[in-house]
Structures are given as C-alpha cells and as structure tokens.
Amino acid sequence: MYLPRSLISKLYSHLQNTRHPLSPAVLILVALEPDALCACRILTRLLKHDYIPHKIQPVAGYSDLEKAGKELVVPMMESQGGSGGVVICLGVGGMVDLGPMLGLEPEGEESPYSGVEVWVFDAHRPWNLANVFGGFPLEPADTASSSYQSRSPVGVTGGAIGRSYNCGKGGIIVYDDGDIEGDLTAERDAYLALLDMPDIEEQGDEDLSEDENDGDHADSGSEHAHAGQKRKSLNEEESSDEEESRPRQRRRSNSSSWIASSPRRPEHRGLLSIRQADAGLSSDPVEPPSGAQPPPAASARALRKRLLRMRQQNEAVLHQYYRMGSSYSEPISAMMYSLASELGRDDNDLLWLAIVGVTSMELYGRSSAGVAAPVRSGAGGRPSGWFGVRGARLRQLLRDEVRRLNPPEMTNGRVAPENNGIIPTTARNPEDTGIRLSPEPRFLLIRHWSLYDSMLHSPYLFSRLRTWSEAGIKRLHKLLAKMGVSLAQCKQSYTHMDMMLKRELRAKLLKYGSLYNLDEMVPAVDTDGKDRAGAKDGWGFVRSWGWRATLSAQDVGVVIGALLEVGKHAHALDTTNGGPSQVTREMEDESELAAEGEEWVHRFWEAYDALENIDALKAGLPTAQFLHRAIYRTGTSLINKKQIKHLRAFRMCVVKDGPDVALFTHPAALTKLALWIGEALAEQEKETQGKLSHGGRGTPLVVASLNEKRGVYTVVGTGGGGGPDTLFLNKATKQERQSKKEAKARKKEEARKAKEKIRKEKRAARRAATQDNDDNGDDDELETESEASESSESEDDSDDEEMNDRGYGLNKFGNAFQEVVAETSARVRIDSFEHSVVEVKKEDLGAFLESLSEKAVVG
C-alpha cells in the first residue's frame, strides 16, 4: 500500500492517539547514511514529544535487514505471541519485497502481517511494486467475489490508502513523495491487471506455440516464474507449485554469502495463481435469455492465447520499469520534516536536521539519475548540481523556511553582514542558535581549514583547475595572486585572516573565477548587484551554537559522513598491505564480515550523537579533514600514474596500494573518491572533445578498492557525469529540436505549395502547347522526386526522436552487476542498499570486469 503525500500525517496521528507509555516500542530500522540518520533524529524527536516508546536498530545491508526481521520483527506478530506494533524503515528496503524479507508473510499461513505495520521511507528508486500496490492482508473471500482487489482492506483502492482506512491490521505502507501517483500509473494498471488474471499454467503452451505466427510465443513459463514462486537458491529446493496471494517480486536472498549464480533480483516476473476448473477459463457458462441467439463461443485455445498475450504485455511494462536503472527521489529527511510540519511541530532544530540530510545527498552524488558526478552547466540560468530542477525547488523551500523561522537581524537600522555577501564565521551573540543563509563557496570546510587547504581539497576546484598536477597548483596560485591574497595569508586559518580580505572574498571570486572556468564557484548575483527578489538562489545554510561553533550544513554533512565511514579513530587504521593467507581468509571471512558490520554500527552511534552534540561534532572535524586529504592524495596518484583505463563501456581504476587503501574499503568513502575522479574526467572530456561523450552524460566510471584483510574488492559504479542536468538539458534540447522541427515543417509545407503552384502553371502551359504526354511523364518524375525528398526529411525527423526521458541517463550498474553474476562464475556479494555497490573476490575481479564491460551501464 502507499500513503499519498496529502495524507502524510494520517498514520502518525493514529499512532499518537492509540499509543501509551506501556505500549510495545516502535521499531526503527535505519540505514547507515547521513540522510537516514537525520530523518531518524527528526522522527525520534516527534516520538519523544508524544511519549511513544521506540527502539532504534541500525541496518548495514540486506543481511542485517533479514536478521532484524527474524530476531526483532517476527516476535512482534500476534501469531507468534506478540502484540503487533509499528516498524519504521528509514532508507531501508524500498527496492525489495519487505513481506518475505522481514518474515511477515510465512509460507502456508493465510493471515500474514498479524498486526505488524511497516512504514517505509526510502529515496531509492525503483520502488518494489509489491510494497506499493500490495502488502496488505486480504479480506475473507465471499461467494459474490473473490478477486484480489475486491478483498483489499476498506479504504484501500488500487493500493492507495484513503481517509476511511483503519489502521491496526498490519501491512507494508510506503510513504509517497508524489512520484507514485504522478509517475506510476502504467505500472499500477499493469500490476493490478496481473493480480486478478487467472493463471493459465503451461499445459496448453505447446499447442499455442505451433499456431502462433505473430511473435506471441507461450514460452514465458521458462522465462518467468509464477507469482510467489522464488528462484531456487544454492542451498534450498522450493516447490514448483508454490502459491501466494498476490504477484511478487523476487527478493534478495543469500545476500550475505558468496554466490556464483544470479541472486534473486527485485524484479516482478510472475502473476497470481488463481486456479480454476478449466485452466483459467470459466467453468460455469451463463445461459443466454430464452429466444436469444447465443454468441459464438471462443475456443479454449483462443482464450488461452489472449490471456497469454495480456499477461506478457503487462509483465513487459513491469520488467521495463525495473530495468530502467537506479535513481533517487526526495530525501527522506525532507519527507520527515514535511510530516513534522503537518503536525505543527516544525522548529529550527528539525529544520536544521532536514537541511543537513538534503545537503548530504549532494555530497554522495545521489541524484535523480542515480549515483553520478554532477554536470555543472552554469549557463542560461539553468539549475545545475544535485537534482536539477527538483533540487533547486527543494532548496528554495528550505530557504523560505529559514526566513520564516529566523527573521533577518537588523543592527542600528542596517542589514546583518551575511545578507551583504559575507560568509559568517561567528555567532551574532552568545545565545545565537539561529539558521542563516550564506553565500557559501564551493570550498571544503572553509571555516575550519585555511583558505588554501579548503580550495585545494575542493572537488569542484580539483576538476576545474586540475590541481592533481603541478600546472594545476600553479593555476591555483595565479588565481590567489589575481585576487590579491598572498600565500602567507591564505595558508593561515580562515577565521584569523584579515577581515577586509574576507569581506571582499566573494566579489573577487566572482570577478576572477570566470577566467579559470569557475563560474559556479560562489553564488552569482543579478546584473543589478542584488539577488533575485531576495531569493538568494544558490546560497547555503549556516547555524551557530553560541560562541562555541558556527558550521555550515555542508560542514556538518562532511563530518557526519566521515564519522560513518572511518570513525573517530581514523589515524589508528592499519594501512599495511600485509594480510593472512588465502586459506585463512576463506575460513575467517564470515567472522571478519561480522566484525566489520559491528564496527559500522558503532560508528553509526558516534554520528548519531554528534548530530545533537556540538562538542562531538567539532571533535569529528579532524576525521573529516583526514578522509578528504586521503581522497585528494589517492585521486591525484591515480590520475598522475595513468591508472584509469578506458574499457568498452566505462572507465575503470583500481585502488590496491598506497597508505590510504584501508580507508576506501567502506563503500561510501569509495563513492566519494569515484565522484572526485568522475567529475575530473568529465571536465577533461569537455575540454579535449568539446562535449561530453555518451550523449552528454560522460563516460561511466568503475572504481574498485582492495580489502587485503578479507581478500575482496569493493566495487562502485557511478554515472559519468550525467546527473540531473543532463535530463534537464536533454529536455531543453528536445524542446529546441521540436521547435526547429515545426519550423522546418512549416517551411517544407510552404515549399510544397510553391512547387504545386509551379506544377499547375506548367501543366496549363503544356496543355496549351498540346504536349500533354511528355509533360505528364515529367510531372510524374517531378512528383516522385518531391515525394522522395519529403520522405527523406521525415526520416531525418524520426532520427531526432529519442527514447523516453524517464529512463534517460540513469545508472544501470545495479542491473549490469546482476547480469554478470548470472553469466559468470565470479564470486560476488550483493548486500548494499545501493545496488551499484558490490563486493568481488580478489581472484575473480578480472573476469568480473571483463564481463561487465559488455553491459549497458547508463541508459
């Protein structure tokens, strides 16, 4: 089921009214990522305010999710002696079928869920449609109707929860951010059509295949599994006639083990097995009225063929949806703030958490085109960076909220300094805890580093100035010299720099940045010197904690991410390349994997505490600086040593030696490194070729990092710089092509009319000269040439038509990884909620990459 955005507070209000301090605790399953962590902080503030007991369980991957289901969720079921309750998933499980994953749909039981209600907040796409349009206990069947939709709970129509829905019976409930109702109409119709479609089994398929000449073969039984039928795993055999109550997507199993065959992908491949007496045909024909001529009855073979065709068409719609590629929708921290706002609980603390969560999405390259380096256009006023148009609108809404909750401060009748373009570095008074808008440059931790180090370790300047080379460092020095900033000045702490330099920094960056292709280094201003109607487009967010600290939202996102990825004890990491023997590695792999998961969970609590403890947050600043120095060193080394190879479908590099290898065993840290390199490669492509390859999306990148201790490679696949801007610019380009096409059609029509007029005049003249026969031949030849010309022009126009923008440029590494696992014997572990991240055994990396190079990795 899904809850429409307009009813976002319905379920929480019911929870608020029915829970008391002795009620069972609400279980919160949280992904180990900053956006989910911020959403968890917002949610727990709401629960504490309403005295609702709750328990937080960090979840590192699908194996942890399955373990949490077995140990924590199943005991809540009434059928298992529990008293029901609510489970809230934050950034967890939106792409897999949560019913079987959490153990809420035991095989053979007719009453699943047993009072357990699961709320799903997840920005990962595509949705698992079994959660969105199903995921509820069926009402008892009656003699009048036993269809699936007629047995939906009261208040649920087509999977959508209405105002009359009564909570408490359990089920999977997805919180819609607007995409489900806006974009999944075709998928909903196909899914619901498959639900009540009778299963024709396979008993007549051999006869059908002999008679069919239109390409509609009845071999789907070998290609598709019936609904509820799960693919056989390595260690279990499942009944071939297993049935369930609704169509199902294959969930991930064996996710925590090494597999040599394709894992169960989150793809819908089946339909409901409603067995009827005549293999899906009605066994009780209706008698026609007396005296009426009965219509000719269709044969069983014709009906079966028609059902098969309908089934294949609907399954094709769902298959295309799941193969579209991975992407991200609205950050769940913003969704959670919307819930708080609907409840009237919005304040500065919750707003700040939402801002940090939204900002963190950009740091990890999570956009509407999946994980990809951003393409920064900087031209024509088009939104650039994270999430394109949608991201720009969301940030503007957050800026409006900041103005509403934090009125601008006036000093002696004058506007506060930050409203004049000065980057705030201190609080306005000892009790200042407000949020302010700030013209943040694209530097890193500028308040806590020197200006020079902040610029040097900025991914934006890394790609534009090419600071991995000596020439790039000289360009940086020249930029500082043109700005009138000496190296001695810029290498001291930014907070201790000359005040006049800090006041003039933004103006100088705007003046000289364009000379070095740095148009988006700081937020621009309009030609009149003022930001548009005070909107402050592109401005960032800053918050103070009295005299103790002043940090930007990006600073907090960087620190929280570093705590999650390397922890407080980053300097104590063992970065040696030595390791145990191969046999020992195989024996200890599971125990090391469990220890790694425990360490990640420990880091989660460190980051969780730091979000509301400014002293702990400040203590994490050295960790963030340590991580980004390592990213800069490693990226510089890979580029300078020319270790980035260009394979058929993507670029590839491997991190396997050096002092910082141990840092990049964490997928998120490796993703940051890949984004740094990817953005640099995209800039190189634009400079050398004049444009980005792959239709303006850039070349995708695969980065692998060796975990010598476990003998595996962590592999991350990122888009080649397509991001949301490519989608936006592609739409704009399409509009331009459409206008050109219309102008060309008008011109062609005018030319046709002119030619027709000339032909008529020639015919009249030739008839008058009694030369009709020859003239007719010439006319026919002329008309033939004209038609051929028009035909060629229409073919040119058709060539301009592109695929549907909906899947254009999306990251398809998740699908490609699944295909490689299915086709090769490579030992691959797929456990991350981010499907473009996998682990590959050290010995199998070569075969894995060779097979991967044959796949389509960006749409």
Share of the chain above pLDDT 70, in %: 71
Q: How far apart are CA 539 and CA 171, in angstroms?
A: 42
pLDDT tens-digit map of 362-408: 888 888 888 887 765 543 334 444 566 778 888 889 999 999 998 87
pLDDT at 386: 57
3-state secondary structure of 281: strand
Q: How far apart are CA 305 and CA 214, in angstroms?
A: 11
Question: Confidence band (pLDDT; 50, 70, 90) for 757?
Answer: confident
pLDDT at 287: 52
**What is the four-CA torsion angle of 378, 379, 384, 389, rounded to 10 degrees?**
160
Question: Confidence band (pLDDT; 50, 70, 90) for 208?
Answer: very low
What's the rounded mean pLDDT across residues 454-470?
91
pLDDT at 657: 85
- Whether the pLDDT of residue 672 is over 60: the answer is yes
Least confident of 20-29, 374-383, 767-776: 374-383
- Whether the pLDDT of residue 240 is over 90: the answer is no
User: Across the chain, how many H-helices and E-strands are there?
Assistant: 28, 23
Question: Confidence band (pLDDT; 50, 70, 90) for 56?
Answer: very high
pLDDT at 350: 96
pLDDT at 763: 77
What's the rounded mean pLDDT across residues 633-659?
89
- DSSP of 710-737, one letter per residue? TTEEEEEEEBSS-HHHHHHHHHHHHHHH
- Whether the pLDDT of residue 281 is over 60: the answer is no
pLDDT at 148: 67
Strand pairing partners for 541?
437
3-state secondary structure of 683: helix
What's the rounded mean pLDDT across residues 618-626?
93
pLDDT at 588: 59
Q: Residue 587: which H helix or E strand, with range?
A: helix 582-610
pTM: 0.80
What's the rounded mean pLDDT across residues 297-325?
87
- Whether the pLDDT of residue 236 is over 90: the answer is no
Least confident of 14-18, 75-79, 634-638, 786-790: 786-790
Q: Residue 741: which H helix or E strand, with range?
A: helix 723-768
pLDDT at 327: 87
pLDDT at 544: 93
pLDDT tens-digit map of 568-598: 765 444 443 444 444 444 445 677 777 777 8
- Whether the pLDDT of residue 331 is over 90: the answer is yes
- Whether the pLDDT of residue 81 is over 80: the answer is yes
Average pLDDT for the chain: 77
pLDDT tens-digit map of 484-516: 888 888 888 888 888 888 888 888 888 888 888
Candidates 447, 516, 450; CA nearest to 479 is 516
* Phi and psi torsions of 717, nearest 5°: -115, 125
Tokens of 338: 């919307």
- DSSP class of residue 155 equals T
Are the CB atoms for 61 and 252 separated by under 8 Å? no
pLDDT at 292: 55
- Whether the pLDDT of residue 330 is over 80: the answer is yes
3-state secondary structure of 287: coil
pLDDT at 145: 59
pLDDT tens-digit map of 611-620: 999 999 999 9
Q: Are strands 2-3 and 54-59 parallel, antiparallel or unpaired?
A: unpaired
Are the CB atoms for 203 and 279 separated by under 8 Å? yes
- Whether the pLDDT of residue 289 is over 80: the answer is no
3-state secondary structure of 591: helix
Are the CB atoms for 525 and 531 separated by under 8 Å? yes
Contacts of 460 (CB under 8 A, 6+ apart): 376, 442, 518, 520, 521, 679
pLDDT at 250: 37
Scanning the structure block, which residue is given the tokens 């989150």? 266
Contacts of 153 (CB under 8 A, 6+ apart): 136, 137, 139, 165, 166, 169, 171
3-state secondary structure of 354: helix
Least confident of 105-114, 219-228, 668-677, 738-747: 219-228
pLDDT at 252: 37
Amino acid at 520: E
Fold of 2-177: Rossmann fold (3.40.50)
